[in-house]
Structure 1
Amino acid sequence: MVAFVVGATCRPGSFDQFWVWADRSMPGGNRFHMVGLAGICWAIWRSRNSVCFEKKLVRSPIEIICLASSFIFFWAELQQEGDREALEAGAEALKSVALSFHPQEAPTADTGVVLLQ
């Protein structure tokens, strides 16, 4: 999904590949790569813990992407003003693309937005 947002034609298979991929797919955004990667990894970890320990169900990977987007947007507040706006725009783009894959039969109230606890 991230590759789709940035228009990349391939996806990395390891952290080493991620850094090369991120530099090629998102030139000039080096200071944002770690925040994006951390948001995605944290969302995967939190989702995994919810499934394992709270017996919650992840209905779609889109839920994890929306959670990652929420983390990135939340963490953007910790950045300088120009960087904050760029991170917020990236988080919003990630969420928008994810929601465009949201199943059509989902209830209208279920927009895929995840709130931070």
Structure 2
Amino acid sequence: IWLARNRATFEKKLIKTPFEIVFSLCSFLLYWTGLQQGDAARELRTGAEMIRASTMQLMKMCAA
């Protein structure tokens, strides 16, 4: 959320949809999995994938 706010404020890039923020969050979570080890990495990756899948389902519902 903070990065999206900064982009909108300082780079004048408009946030077209809240889904942009969620997908950006997932990208950062997946990046962080590379910095974790063992169960922590696995749990973080699983959580990021769950958030992304749920968001994609929500996008489909909103488009219908």
Smaller-chain TM-score range? 0.7 to 0.9
- The one-letter amino acid paired with 1:52 is T
Residue correspondence of structure 1 range 1-117 to structure 2 within 5 A: 44-102=1-59, 103-104=62-63
Q: Deviations over 1:11-64 (max 9, x none)?
A: xxxxxxxxxxxxxxxxxxxxxxxxxxxxxxxxx111001101111111111111
**TM-score normalised over the length of structure 1:** 0.49
Larger mean CA deviation between 77-86 and 46-55 belongs to 77-86
- Give the RMSD, CA atoms, in angstroms: 1.5
In 2, the alpha carbon distance for the partners of 1:97 and 1:59 equals: 19
**TM-score normalised over the length of structure 2:** 0.83
Gaps of 5+ in 1: 1-43, 106-117
Alignment length (residue pairs):
62
Give the number of the structure whose alpha-carbon radius of gyration is greater: 1
Q: Give 1 or 2: higher helix fraction.
A: 2
Gaps of 5+ in 2: none
Q: Deviations over 1:50-97 (max 9, x none)?
A: 101111111111111111111111101111122111110100100111
